[in-house]
Structure 1
Amino acid sequence: MTQTAAHSTLLRRILVPYALPGFAIALPTIPVYIALPSLYGIDQGLGLAAVGAVLLIARAFDTVTDPIIGALSDRSSIGRMRRKPWIAVGSVIAGIGLWNVLAPDPGDGLAYLLFWSIVLYTGWTMVAVPYLAWGAELTENYRDRARVTSWREGAGLLGIIGASALSAAIVNAGGTNGMALQAVVLATVTVGAIFLTAALAFVPDDAAPSGMEQPLSEMRRGLHRLFKNRLFLRLLTAWFMNGLANGIPAALFMVYLEFGLGATASESTVLILIYFAAAVAGIPLWLWLTRRFDKHRIWCGAMAMASLAFLCVPLLPDGAILGFAAICLLTGAAFGADLALPPAIQADVADYDRLRTGYRREGLIFAFWGMGTKLALAGSAGIALPGVVWLGFDPEAPTASGLTALVAVYAVLPVAIKLLTTAFMWGFPLGAVRHGTVQRRLAALSRHSTRRMPPCGSAYSPCS
């Protein structure tokens, strides 16, 4: 068996155990981001404004921890393992934080929420950042990386669907929202323990060769060089812009369904399910296309498809549920590409960074990826919710002009941002051919020295 065939066989064996933790990590996503304000602000009687301020502080802290954990996971190892120790410890911390933050006692107040939110977010980051970096290190093949991210993000989408289905089943059976939250927490802890154990047991995690870890003494210089890497900045900017384009309609989704489309609660639930199911179903298509086209071009095609579909939203009359369901199918399928392809491209950028610097810094690179995601979520909410109010939409007394403003912010603004992102990424220079050149140069350098730099003035000069 050739080395390539042996690698392909190994990758097939580890794809499922590597992807399964993505299911568990995604299970509590919606409860944490959507249920916490009402749980503490209303049920606990702490007030929405005060709870919002506490959550803002916790999320700001969460954003700061990303690069710290990413950098530390790059240079720390136990035995031959770099990512597994962080994931193992972080999962325990996250599980304890999740259990406490979603199951408060009646007297628990703002200090309780702040403490356990920080514990949860810290543990979550300790799992998420090394987990993403681990996926980038499983293979150096341009197209196989799309397989890794597709399986992982598909499992994550199934986790979101599973949590929603579990919550709906409990509420429909007569249970309370609190009971549904506790069920999601219990499912997360149970399933997470099983799936994470399988990943830790069966998926390899080899530490970087000695001399390829960036010393802490060079961290400041290393960050400076990272932000002079134009491919890294270009992809990170595109990821942030596309996150805004996806986050704005997400923040206004339920508002638009109620006031712009006139959908009932049951119809809204079905539309959400269609969107996420289409995202899962679309991932195999995007993965198949990676055999024929560069990943960034496929991503651009998916963004263009979503933009064209979303441009139909202002044309929908009130009550056009079937028409909007068709839009959900197309935009949901495109969302699958948004999740699966950019992280695979980022893994290629990490190879380019290694060629420029001589260090393996996947953890640090994907830490900024996580920061971009969090900032896009915060920015989209900050644009969408105040924006529709500023333009004249009032849910207490909706007018024709107010509804027009709602539709414009919900559908037109995201399309404009997504089309800009598409144009920005179309000419991205690190496709399959150039990545192959990067890989060949890395292989040639590794035969001589793990720290040898390419010469200044070359195509991949560290001086550029």
Structure 2
Amino acid sequence: MKISSLIFYGLLGLPLAMAALPVYVQIPNYYTAQLGLPLASTGLVLFFARMFDTVQDPFIGQIIDKLGCSNRIWIFVSAALLCLTFAGLWLPPAFARNSNTSLLIWLGVMLSLAYTAHSMLNIAYLAWGSSLESQGTSNSDQQAASYHQLLGASAWREAFGMLGVIVASIIPSWIILQDKSSTETQLVQYAMGFAALVLAAVVALLFGAVKPLQRGAHAIIALRILLKNPRFVALLRIYFFNSLSVAIPASLILFFINDRIQTPEKTALFLSSYFIAGACGLPLWIKLAKRIGAQRSWQLGMLIAVLSFVSASMLGAGDANAFLLVCIASGFALGADLALPPVLLTVLVDDKQNMGAYFGLWSLVGKFTLALAGLSLSLLALLSYQANQVNQASGLMALTFTYAVLPCAFKLIALFLLRHFSKSTPS
């Protein structure tokens, strides 16, 4: 497969990532610290919006299997909806800012629509990537060649994704720190730039990327059939605990920087170093997976993540340099979390006709962990933590436990399950 085709495929990972992880990181802080919403009620809105998103993903995956992952109307409609809702999240209109209730309703509606659009586009995108099987190879080489090709597609997708989160981590953080009189104009420009990136990436995917293999017509598979695959269920279980270990600190990192490390002016540095480390580490994880397999490589990534968050739990006010090292180490481990699990899933599933359904359930699990992570804000409120209050010993202890210690426990559970995951994959 030509490298240009893989690049054109991977480009859509950039705007999709801009609308995913950074939004989960930045929107809660933006609506509470900047727009003045209460922490507890914002956490509940995040939870219910993410639960709505979780429930719909398997059905979206089934529709994609029916229509085909390269259906142009589906891709253009979902891309347009994503652009509109992305702008709506950052630019709530004046009538929505009249009261906390109105703003909470606006946040809930925009999040739900943004999640729907992202799922429509992302599940089709993942199913497209899983269909990039090797052609023209001998039977003896087919399995290894397909595996390496899947790794290549995943590498370009996640590399552009890392670039997307770097851009989306730096720009909004910089805008929010500027004079408030110019914030709205800059956010408008940011939303317009995002829409231009989405359009360019969609055009590249549809007209420049290698086409997915066409599948014959088939009936929509029942979700219960997917859950009868014990190895798929075992991998879902691992993915659940690992995703939860990533989602919780992603939801709380801005609060940790502001109130525990107490260096909000370095937010862009911390976030960008985290994602740059992930981008730099990504080719190393792919290379390692080709040598020792995706499963063993992912285990190593989990160990690095645990060590980094244990270190974070020991930090306090002024430990900016130490926290920067934590961001770099955990970002490096993030590359394994992003690139390797979809490869394991694709290799595990023999039923390529229904990859959209499988990725729909896969996405459901990831979204469910994000919904649970949204409740961490409400949990902190119950534990007497208040944002922007640095002289609250018990609240800061609760923040440290929830941000650093709890994710380590979930990551260790995922590591234990992965070590016992009995599925041979080519290396």
TM range (shorter): 0.7 to 0.9
- Cα offset, 1:375, TM superposition: 0.9
Match of 1:130 in 2: 124
Name the amino acid aligned to 1:179: T
SS in 2 for 1:291: helix
Q: Check 1:319–1:55 CA distance in 2 against 1; reply closer, same or farther (3 A cut).
A: closer
TM-score normalised per structure 1: 0.78
User: Which is worse superposed, 404-413 or 388-397?
Assistant: 388-397
CA contact 1:167–1:183 (8 Å) conserved in 2: no
1:438 aligned partner: none
Matched, 1:246 2:246: yes
The CA deviation at 1:123 is: 2.3
Aligned partner (choices 163, 168, 176) of residue 168 of structure 2: 163
Tell which deviates more after alignment, 293-302 or 149-158.
Answer: 149-158
- The within-5 A match list for 1:204-223 is 204-206=210-212, 208-210=214-216, 213=218, 215-216=219-220, 219=221, 222-223=222-223
Cα deviation, residue 49, structure 1: 6.9
1:226 is matched with: 226
- Match in the other structure for 2:79: 91
> RMSD value over aligned CA atoms?
3.0
CA–CA distance in structure 2, aligned partners of residues 388 and 323 of structure 1: 24
CA offsets per residue over residues 170-220 of structure 1, 9 Å max, x none?
Answer: 456646433333222101111111121011002233454325x3x14xx4x
Q: Closer, same or farther in 2 for the Cα pair 1:183/1:160, shift >3 Å?
A: farther
Q: 1:277 to 1:143 in 2, by over 3 A?
A: same
Structure 2 alignment gaps of length 5 or more: 97-101, 135-145
For residue 19 of structure 1, the aligned residue among 1, 10, 21 is 10
User: In structure 1, what is the Cα distance between the partners aligned to 2:108 and 2:313?
Assistant: 41
Q: CA deviation at 1:126?
A: 1.4
* Superposition map of 1:194-205 within 5 A: 194-205=200-211
Distance verdict in 2 for CA 1:172–1:46, change over 3 Å: closer
Instruction: Give ranges in structure 1 of 5+ residues lacking alignment.
Output: 1-8, 436-464
Equivalent AA in structure 1 for residue 66 of structure 2: R
Q: Could you say which residue in structure 2 is the equivalent of 1:458?
A: none
Shift, 1:419, TM fit = 1.4
Shift of 1:332: 0.8
Indicate the larger mover: 106-115 or 333-342. 106-115
Is residue 193 of structure 1 aligned with residue 188 of structure 2?
no
Task: Verify the 8 A CA contact 2:47 2:372 in the aligned structure 1.
Answer: no
- AA partner of residue 259 (structure 1): D
**Cα-to-partner distance string for 1:243-294 (whole Å, 9 max, x where unaligned):** 1111222233233333333x32222331222111111111011011022111
Q: Which residue of 1 aligns with 2:141?
A: none
The CA deviation at 1:410 is 2.3
1:446 aligned partner:
none
1:144 CA drift (Å)? 2.5
Q: Deviations over 1:135-184 (max 9, x none)?
A: 11113622331221121112112112112333345456646433333222
Bigger mean CA offset, 32-41 vs 177-186: 32-41
Change (3 A) 1:204 1:260: same
The CA distance in 2 between the partners of 1:43 and 1:386, in whole Å, is: 18
One-letter amino acid of the counterpart of residue 158, structure 2: E
1:266 aligns with 2:272: no
1:130, CA displacement in angstroms?
0.5
Cα distance in 2 for residues equivalent to 1:432 and 1:415: 27
Write out per-residue CA displacement over residues 285-339 of structure 1, whole angstroms, 9 at most, x where no aligned residue: 1011022111011001110111122222344454222222222211110011111
- In structure 1, what is the Cα distance between the partners aligned to 2:114 and 2:90? 10
Structure 1: which amino acid aligns with 2:77? V
Distance 1:401 1:101 in 2: 32
How many aligned residue pairs are there? 408
Mapped to 1, the partners of 2:250 and 2:106 lie a distance apart of 29
The answer to which structure, 1 or 2, has the higher relative contact order (CA under 8 A, 6+ apart) is: 2
Q: How far 1:424 moved relative to its partner? A: 0.5
AA aligned opposite 1:148 = A
* Structure 1 residues 310 and 367, CA gap change in structure 2 (3 angstroms): same
Is 1:422 matched up with 2:390? Answer: no
Task: Report the equivalent of 1:307.
Answer: 306
CA gap 1:350/1:87 in 2 versus in 1, 3 angstroms? farther
Rg (Cα) greater in structure: 1
Amino acid at match of 2:155: S
SS in 2 for 1:210: coil
Match of 2:184 among 178, 195, 217: 178
Partner of 1:5: none
Question: What's the offset of the Cα at 1:124?
Answer: 2.0
Identity %: 31
CA deviation map 1:402-421 (0-9, x unaligned) = 54443333222211211121
Matches within 5 A, 1:22-33: 22-29=13-20, 32-33=23-24
Q: State the AA in 2 paired with 1:23.
A: L
